[in-house]
Amino acid sequence: MEKLWSPWRSNYIESFKTKKDTDECIFCDAHKLTIENDESLVIFKNTLCYVMLNLYPYNSGHLLVIPYKHISDINAMSDNEMDEMMKTTRLSIKVLENAMKPHGFNFGANIGKAAGAGIDTHLHFHIVPRWNGDINFMPSIGEVKIISQDLLETKKNLINSFKQVLK
């Protein structure tokens, strides 16, 4: 079996070490800022969960759907929380289709350290837009992942797309 390495992921994981040494949670803190604040990557707030851009995306438009409740066990979610998380995921996919026209999506969760969760103390879902040919030699040979769109530009486009889809 061949192995593909993703060294950029270690930057993402390393960025949380100081937070893990405290009682702080970046997901519990993230939704406290307004969506309009450029320091915030949150693009949509629902009643029981919210959506934010991933600071270290695998592709442009990589979103996280996160419950407000600080939980790590999916079985600890109420039916209402799970229902809203899934509906918000579906809405987020519509928003990405509207704004970015991807050819497909990766959707899921890494639950627990052993499953690859960079932040294993606060459950979250990943939605990664995919395009035909979006993987090339750069990540595996050049140790570089090219994200072609600025994060703040992506944020503004997706906020506008949420407004359009929710009309």
Catalytic annotation, residues: 124
Q: How far is CA 37 from CA 80, 92, 147, 162, in A?
A: 29, 20, 22, 17
Q: DSSP state, 100?
A: H
Q: In this structure, are residues 42 and 52 in contact, taking their beta carbons and an 8 Å threshold?
A: yes
DSSP string of 20-79, one letter each residue: HTSS--HHHHHTTS-TT-TT--EEEE-SSEEEEE-SS-SSTT-EEEEESS--S-GGGS-H
Residues 6+ apart with CB under 8 A from 2: none
What six digits make up the tokens of 67?
Answer: 């419950």
Q: In this structure, are residues 53 and 43 in contact, taking their beta carbons and an 8 Å threshold?
A: yes
> How far is residue 59's CA from residue 53's CA, in Å, rounded to a whole number?
11
